[in-house]
Structure 1
Amino acid sequence: MLDLLRAWDLAQEDLLILRPDEDLASAVRKLLERAESHPGSPCGIVEDENGRFLGTLSTHRALRAIGGAIEKAGIFESSRQIDVDRAVHALCRMVGGHTVRDHMFTRVLEVAPHTPLPEILRRFADNMGHFAVVTEAGRALGLLELDDVFKTFAASMLSERPINC
């Protein structure tokens, strides 16, 4: 049964779409809202105005950008105490002046809708990634998380294994 499954069978179709010129603060707000309503790792699909897939912005990358701004401002260097005013100022300056394009990931693992499950797993292992974007003709059709693949394998293995009483 597992060898019959394709990327499209497991992909999440309800995508969070972001635009490259969208400000980072707006994108972070959308990612946080997404985290509350969807299980898994919140990830936004970045598309241009024509719907062409450009990359992704995950909560992980957004947090790295924010952490980088705090580190660059030197807020933690001088003492154990945090200068809250400097921290807030640095974050406002960073988040207000950056766009999704500044922090999106463009070397995303892409798979075609018809890619078989074993091939998807191999590509995850080769790329050390935890999600892939299902694309066709330059457009994002779905998001496939490694957790979804593992859950599918686990469910199949548990249903095929005889129970010894």
Structure 2
Amino acid sequence: MLLRKRAWDLMREDVTRGVRGENLIFLLRRMQAAIERDADNHVAVIEDSHGHYLGVITMWDVVGYFEKQIFQRDELVDFEHADWDKAFATACRLSCHIGVEKLMRQHGVPCLEPTTPMILILENLQRDRRDWALVREGEKILGIVLKTDIFQEIGDEVLQVF
């Protein structure tokens, strides 16, 4: 099984997608809907208008961005007496109209070929301490493999043996 199953067998095609130039608020809605369906599905692929891969945004990229925006507020200099609710609301108002490229990551994104065997996927995810990898063919993203997909596959196999 570990050599027989490939990335294309394990991947899910329901990747959240965004387009260059799109406002972050619209992508956030789709990301939240994906996370509600499956908490591990927290990655959005950003593409150009032709569907070519440009980068990714994860929920941690969004959280980190908002954290930076909140702590950049001048009114938070006095940590003890700061109005955190006001700072968060201001950061939200100012940030939700930015383009997705502002948060998009292009480097260090885990990508697999569709034919990558499951044993190598597992090894790469564990080595890099990742819980997901994109399945990419040229400039197109075909899908995503999540750690839960691998666990499910291994669990099904183990339960069949017993």
Sort the TM-score into its range (normalised by shorter chain): 0.7 to 0.9
Aligned length: 160
State the TM-score, normalized to the length of structure 1.
0.85
> What is the CA RMSD across the aligned residues, in angstroms?
2.0
| In the alignment, structure 1 residue 5 sits paired with structure 2 residue 5 | yes
d(CA) in 2 for partners of 1:57 and 1:72? 21
Task: Quote the Cα distance in structure 2 between the aligned partners of 1:40 and 1:139.
Answer: 22
Alpha-carbon contact 1:2-1:156 (below 8 Å) kept: no
Specify every segment of 5 or more residues in structure 2 that has no aligned partner in the other structure, as ranges.
none
Q: Give the structure 2 partner of residue 64 of structure 1.
A: 64
The alpha-carbon distance between structure 1 residues 90 and 137, as it changes in their structure 2 partners (threshold 3 A), is closer
Tell me by how many angstroms 1:121 deviates: 1.0
The percent identity for this pair of structures is 22
* Number of the residue aligned with 1:154: 155
CA displacement, residues 20-60 of structure 1 (integer Å, 9 cap, x when unaligned): 22112221122112222345232211111111111211112
1:12 and 1:144 in contact (8 A); partners too: yes
Matched residue type, 2:62: A
CA deviation string 1:88-127 (max 9, x = no partner):
123211332x221111222211111111000111111232
SS in 2 for 1:13: coil
Task: Give the secondary-structure state (helix, strand or coil) at the position aligned to 1:2.
Answer: coil
Distance in 2 between residues matched to 1:60 and 1:135, nearest whole Å: 22
Are 2:139 and 1:142 equivalent residues in the alignment? Answer: no
CA change 1:79–1:11 in 2 (3 A) is same
Check whether the contact 1:41–1:58 (CA below 8 A) recurs between aligned residues: no
Query: TM-score, structure 2 length as denominator?
Result: 0.87
